[in-house]
């Protein structure tokens, strides 16, 4: 009996804590802070020209005509998916209200590895949109059979369809030779030619979304000719536009929980990162999640800064996967120089960083590589966008040295690298490491 009472007590405790978390959350409608949510027109900011273009291109679908193919390109987080999805949703509602069978078939190509998988995903999504069975298996049959089933669903269930291929440039397929046609080229050719070849009864248009402004250059000549899209260009958002985007999603939060400065700070961080609205919205949401985790009833600037650090740490950790211990050690030695420096040091002289690297290899009983190897490792770090570098002269006859500036907060980079098993040992000698770093910095400035 006691065990049953304990179990019931635990269940009530869990239930109570869950309900308390929901009731005391700073969020009112967290779904508004999902970057992929289809939002109302009045929440769209800074994309009037692109919105007008896509409305113009899709209007023929409501007049019984075929819309043109479209190529939407621009950096990540600049509103490509947001705009095309918002307009398609309105076209869908208007078409349905006037009895037209309009369909929107979407796939994201980022995780699709081959032309065959892409075709199956199209069949599956078309079947879901039409409310019918897929009718083909994922494996064991040819791509042509899957394509036939896709065309069959479109012909039987829709008068007009727009196919959205998000991140289309990532659908390269299994290219055995550099000259092989990428999978997206073959798919675009097949989809854009289907109506002309009589494979589909009805109108089919393709909207391809990409971050690559040179996407069309890699298309096969036949695919380029048959696709022949209308271009819609999406530039970076600036800080003011990002701020307006977040202001229009303020109601995702409860009244009076946002401190002044939260929205401008979130927008400023995202503006530094190529004007990515997706990252601005993620940051704005994560700040609230951090406040919720702490049981706080106000979202403050420190929550935004913590959210930014979390995002940088996640990005850094992802980029660091696969780096060798020596490369991590070189990057760590460079990162702790500005972190531990008693001077206001933004750029890290390679001479100082290499001496710190030498000390760390001795401390950890690791192999010590040459200065040329260290510089080679840091060149690779630059290609990963961890750092930027600049050459500096030491004065007449003294040669030059490199100076490294971290793209993200060097403290975040150092903390992330400390999670590596071997680098953790350095934490136990932190005061000694700090003194070594500052001694090397002082020596460098005395010499120069």
pLDDT higher than threshold 60 for residue 109: yes
pLDDT surpassing 70 at residue 92: yes
Q: Which of 109-118, 350-359, 427-436 has the lowest mean pLDDT?
A: 427-436
Q: What is the pLDDT of residue 401?
A: 80
Same domain, 272 and 383: no
Query: In this structure, are 254 and 167 located in the same domain?
Result: no
pTM of the model: 0.71
Which of 233, 256, 288 is the C-terminal boundary of a domain?
A: 233
Spatial separation of the C-alpha atoms in residues 224 and 216, rounded to whole Å: 7
Which whole-number Å values give the CA distances from 317 to 126, 321, 323, 385, in the listed order?
Answer: 37, 6, 10, 13
Residues 229 and 103 in one domain: yes
Kindly state whether residues 170 and 268 are assigned to the same domain.
Answer: no
Give binding residues as ranges: 78-82, 237, 249
Q: What is the DSSP string of 193-229?
A: HTTTTTSSSSEEEEEEEES-TTGGGGS-HHHHHHH-P
**CATH number for position 129:** 3.40.50.300
DSSP tag of 400? E
113 with 192, same domain: the answer is yes
pLDDT band at residue 11 using 50, 70 and 90 as cut-offs:
low
Q: Does 386 reside within a domain?
A: yes
User: What is the mean predicted confidence (pLDDT) over 252-269?
Assistant: 94
* Binding-site residue positions for ATP: 78-82, 237, 249
In a domain, 251, yes or no: yes
Beta bridge partners of 405: 388
Instruction: State yes or no: pLDDT of 126 exceeds 80.
Output: yes
Percent of the residues in the chain that have a pLDDT greater than 70, as a whole number: 89
The pLDDT of 400-419, averaged and rounded, is 85
Please check whether residues 227 and 248 belong to one and the same domain. no
How far is C-alpha 100 from the chain's CA centre? 36
Of the candidates 96, 157, 168, 94, which has an alpha carbon nearest to the alpha carbon of residue 123?
157
Residue 298 covered by a domain = yes
Same domain, 213 and 255: no
Q: What is the per-residue pLDDT for 397? A: 44
Last residue of a domain, one of 213, 233, 253: 233
Q: Is residue 25 part of a domain?
A: no
pLDDT value at residue 22: 53
Sheet with 70-73, side-by-side order of all strands: 102-108, 160-166, 203-210, 70-73, 230-233
CB 198 within 8 A of CB 192: no
Residue 2 resides in a domain: no
Answer yes or no: do 158 and 91 share one domain: yes
The whole-number pLDDT of residue 415 equals 84
pLDDT single digits (tens) 38-88: 778 888 889 999 999 999 999 999 998 999 999 999 988 899 999 999 999
**Residue 207 forms part of a structural domain:** yes
Please, which residues bridge with residue 406 across strands?
A: 387
> What DSSP string runs through 11-50?
HHHHHHHHHHHHHT-SBS-GGGG-TT----GGG--S-HHH
CATH number of the domain at 393, please.
1.10.10.10
Domain shared by 109 and 152, yes or no: yes
Statement to judge: residues 278 and 339 lie in one domain: no
How many domains is the chain built from?
Answer: 3
Note whether residue 14 is domain-resident.
no
Let me know if residue 293 belongs to a domain: yes
Domain that holds residue 297: 237-318
Binned at pLDDT 50, 70 and 90, residue 392 comes out as: confident
The reported pLDDT for the residue numbered 413 is: 87
Residues 399, 412 within the same domain? yes
Q: Identify the pLDDT of residue 87.
A: 94
Domain closes at, from 233, 264, 294: 233
Q: Do residues 137 and 286 both lie within one domain? A: no
CATH number of the domain bearing residue 306:
1.10.8.60
Tokens of residue 211, six digits? 């971050």
Instruction: Check whether 14 has a pLDDT greater than 70.
Output: no
Higher-pLDDT residue of 109, 315: 109
**What value, to the nearest 5°, has the Cα angle with vertex 17 and ends 11 and 300?**
165
pLDDT of residue 13: 65
- 9 versus 227: the higher-pLDDT residue is 227
Q: What pLDDT score was predicted for residue 264? A: 95
pLDDT score of 352 more than 90:
yes
């Amino acid at each position: 009996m006691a065990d049953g009472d304990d179990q019931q007590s635990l269940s009530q405790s869990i239930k109570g804590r869950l309900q308390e978390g929901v009731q005391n959350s700073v969020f009112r409608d967290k779904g508004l802070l999902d970057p992929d949510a289809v939002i109302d027109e009045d929440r769209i900011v800074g994309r009037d020209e692109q919105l007008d273009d896509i409305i113009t291109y899709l209007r023929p679908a409501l007049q019984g005509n075929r819309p043109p193919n479209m190529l939407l390109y621009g950096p990540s987080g600049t509103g490509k998916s947001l705009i095309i999805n918002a307009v398609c949703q309105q076209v869908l509602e208007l078409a349905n209200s006037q009895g037209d069978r309009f369909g929107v078939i979407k796939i994201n190509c980022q995780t699709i590895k081959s032309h065959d998988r892409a075709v199956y995903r199209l069949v599956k999504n078309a079947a879901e949109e039409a409310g019918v069975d897929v009718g083909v298996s994922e494996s064991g049959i040819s791509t042509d059979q899957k394509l036939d089933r896709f065309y069959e669903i479109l012909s039987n269930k829709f008068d007009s369809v727009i196919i959205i291929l998000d991140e289309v440039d990532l659908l390269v397929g299994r290219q055995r030779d550099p000259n092989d046609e990428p999978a997206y080229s073959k798919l675009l050719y097949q989809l854009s030619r289907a109506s002309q070849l009589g494979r589909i009864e009805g109108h089919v248009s393709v909207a391809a979304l990409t971050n690559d402004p040179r996407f069309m250059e890699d298309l096969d000549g036949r695919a380029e000719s048959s696709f022949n899209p209308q271009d819609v260009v999406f530039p970076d958002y600036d800080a003011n536009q990002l701020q307006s985007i977040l202001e229009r999603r303020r109601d995702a939060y409860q009244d009076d929980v946002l401190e002044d400065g939260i929205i401008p700070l979130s927008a400023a961080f995202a503006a530094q990162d190529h004007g990515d609205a997706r990252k601005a919205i993620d940051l704005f949401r994560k700040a609230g999640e951090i406040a919720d985790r702490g049981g706080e009833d106000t979202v403050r600037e420190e929550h935004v800064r913590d959210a930014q650090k979390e995002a940088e740490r996640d990005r850094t950790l992802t980029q660091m996967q696969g780096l060798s211990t020596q490369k991590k050690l070189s990057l760590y030695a460079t990162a702790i120089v500005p972190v531990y420096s008693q001077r206001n040091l933004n750029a890290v002289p390679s001479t100082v960083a290499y001496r710190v690297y030498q000390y760390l290899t001795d401390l950890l009983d690791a192999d010590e590589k040459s200065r040329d190897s260290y510089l080679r490792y840091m060149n690779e770090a630059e290609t990963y966008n961890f750092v930027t570098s600049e050459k500096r002269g030491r004065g007449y006859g003294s040669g030059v040295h490199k100076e490294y500036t971290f793209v993200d907060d060097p403290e975040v980079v150092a903390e992330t690298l400390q999670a590596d098993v071997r680098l953790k040992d350095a934490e136990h000698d932190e005061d000694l490491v700090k003194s070594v770093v500052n001694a090397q910095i002082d020596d460098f400035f005395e010499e120069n």
